Homo-oligomer: A and B are copies of this chain.
Amino acid sequence: MKQPIVEKLLKELGRKKVKTDEGTLDERRHDYSVVFQLDDMQGKEAPRPACVVQPAGTVDVVKVINLCRKTGTIIIPFGLGSGVVSGVKAVADAVMLDMSGMKKIRRIDQHNLMATFEAGVRGSDAEAAVNKRGLMLGHYPQSMDISSVGGWVATRACGQFSSAYGAIENLVMGLEVVLPNGEVLETRLTPRASAGPDLKQIFLGSEGALGIITAVTFSLHYKPESQEYSAFYVPTMQKGFETQRYIIQSGWAPPVMRQYDASEVKRLFPEFTREEDCLIVLVHEGPAARTAAELSECAEIAVDTGCETAPKEIVLKWLEERNHVPTFESFLKEGIIVDTVEIAADWKKIGLIYKNAIAALNGVENILNASAHSSHCYRSGLNLYFTFAAMPADPDNMAAVYEDCWRRIMEATIKEGGGISHHHGIGRVRRQWMRDEVGQAGVDLLKSLKKILDPDNILNPGVLIPE
């Protein structure tokens, strides 16, 4: 028997937009988090939601939110499901709001380098649409082909070329958001304003808990005139951090500047491995004259700070393979629990966090891999992207080992004063450490925001804000 909210939604939106078949319900039960996939495999599936609603436009989202508010029904926004921090998980009475049908390109404004997409537009489709005009988004997360522009905003994403073009908060000009009270907030598309707090910021990182993002406007770039590549061997991560720091603090902004530790070099670039060396990989792009200057001066800094030039084929290989990653499922089937965890810290702290987190991971029983690379640089510091893999003797311990690995990385980060998440978000997996991240006053402020925006607590409860 259908739940009353489903009957109401069917009446209001029609059969095509309100799905209750088991196939659809199963597909939309959770995001891509490895621990949810593990649960599925071990027969501990999340419950099926009451229904999956597929709005065709903002008007539909308003209808859903108004109905759900009146009935106290939980709404869980679902983009394209590529999240990895357990931010989306069905509960039995909930409406999953599947945004994948909202995929209109509303407008591409070549003159002002702006483009507006509905929230469900796939990243790679948005990029392809502007590419046709010689433009680009400048935002290239690894999930490009499997994530939505609305998801990027909700999770505060950051792409691989961020060191030049910025993270999502630097690329988004405006948002359309349906608020839990049914109002539609459209922020003004002005290049810059001093007109009170920037309201769109409340929704950048809101993880579905403060409003439903229905459209996103980007500030675009022309595709660069030129692209160049450079790579360097460096004997230790700490020495490599110093090279990265010199480059970015000297005023250069190569869009890509990554450093892989020796373990990752061996795994990802076996044909280019040189003993225990780490590897720094750079992409330079922009007007040709600037790219040439950047290529030459970055190389000079790298050599001056103790690096040795590596073949640029390494960079081409990275560009080619950067979005190909083995599925979590392929590991789970082998009894291996694997995940990636990103954090950020200033230049003084990052070396110790790297060292301590890797040491802590290596203390886990049956650990197969504990490694890291940096992938996003700032004048004040950088991120680290850890990968752990472990094969517990007893497969029933996989979830516990997952939690243990996460805890070890989080605690090593917090101990030195690092930030607990660089670009994947909080979801459920990091929620217990949010107080360490934003302090008690920060948690109180987030709770207040939640209370005024969503007083009935119907929007994706259980994520982001700690109890």
Q: A184-B441, A452-B451 are in contact. Are A194 and B381 (CB under 8 A)?
A: no
A224 near B251: Cβ-Cβ < 8 Å = yes
A426 near B196: Cβ-Cβ < 8 Å = yes
List residues 416-441 of chain A with CB under 8 A from any CB of chain B.
418-426, 430, 434, 437-441
A380 near B219: Cβ-Cβ < 8 Å = yes
CA distance A199 to B439 in the complex (A): 11
B195 near A420: Cβ-Cβ < 8 Å = yes
Is A112 interfacial (CB-CB < 8 Å)?
yes
Binding stretch for chain B, among A20-28, A47-55, A121-129, A286-294: A286-294
A398 to chain B, nearest CB (A): 26
B196 near A205: Cβ-Cβ < 8 Å = yes
B286 near A297: Cβ-Cβ < 8 Å = no
List residues 184-225 of chain A with CB under 8 A from any CB of chain B.
184-199, 201-207, 210, 219-222, 224-225
Question: How many protomers of this protein does the assembly include?
Answer: 2
Using a CB–CB cutoff of 8 Å, the interface residues on chain A facing chain B are: 109, 111-114, 155-158, 167, 169-170, 173, 179, 183-199, 201-207, 210, 219-222, 224-225, 249-252, 286-287, 289-290, 292-294, 296-297, 344-348, 376, 378-383, 418-426, 430, 434, 437-442, 444-446, 448-449, 451-453, 464-465
B442 near A448: Cβ-Cβ < 8 Å = no
CA distance A376 to B191 in the complex (A): 10
CA distance A431 to B180 in the complex (A): 26
Residue from A251, A348, A440 having most chain B Cβ neighbours under 10 A: A251
A383 to chain B, nearest CB (A): 7
The chain B residue sitting closest to A294, CB to CB, is B290
B156 near A191: Cβ-Cβ < 8 Å = no
Q: A191-B346, A193-B419, A194-B424 are known; give 12 further A-B pairs, CB within 8 A.
A: A109-B346, A112-B346, A156-B193, A185-B441, A189-B346, A191-B419, A193-B437, A197-B205, A199-B442, A199-B446, A289-B296, A448-B453
A379 near B113: Cβ-Cβ < 8 Å = yes
A199 near B111: Cβ-Cβ < 8 Å = no
Chain B residues closer than 8 Å to A381, beta-carbon distance: 112, 190-191
A380 near B112: Cβ-Cβ < 8 Å = yes
A188 near B287: Cβ-Cβ < 8 Å = no
A387 to chain B, nearest CB (A): 18
The chain B residue sitting closest to A439, CB to CB, is B186
Q: A251-B224, A379-B220 are in contact. Are A185 and B439 (CB under 8 A)?
A: yes
The chain B residue sitting closest to A114, CB to CB, is B380
The 8 Å CB contact of A197, one of B193, B203, B249, is B203
Chain B residues closer than 8 Å to A250, beta-carbon distance: 222, 287
A422 near B205: Cβ-Cβ < 8 Å = no
B425 near A194: Cβ-Cβ < 8 Å = yes
A205 near B195: Cβ-Cβ < 8 Å = yes
A283 to chain B, nearest CB (A): 15
CA distance A167 to B192 in the complex (A): 9
The chain B residue sitting closest to A445, CB to CB, is B199
Chain B residues closer than 8 Å to A155, beta-carbon distance: 194
The chain B residue sitting closest to A183, CB to CB, is B441
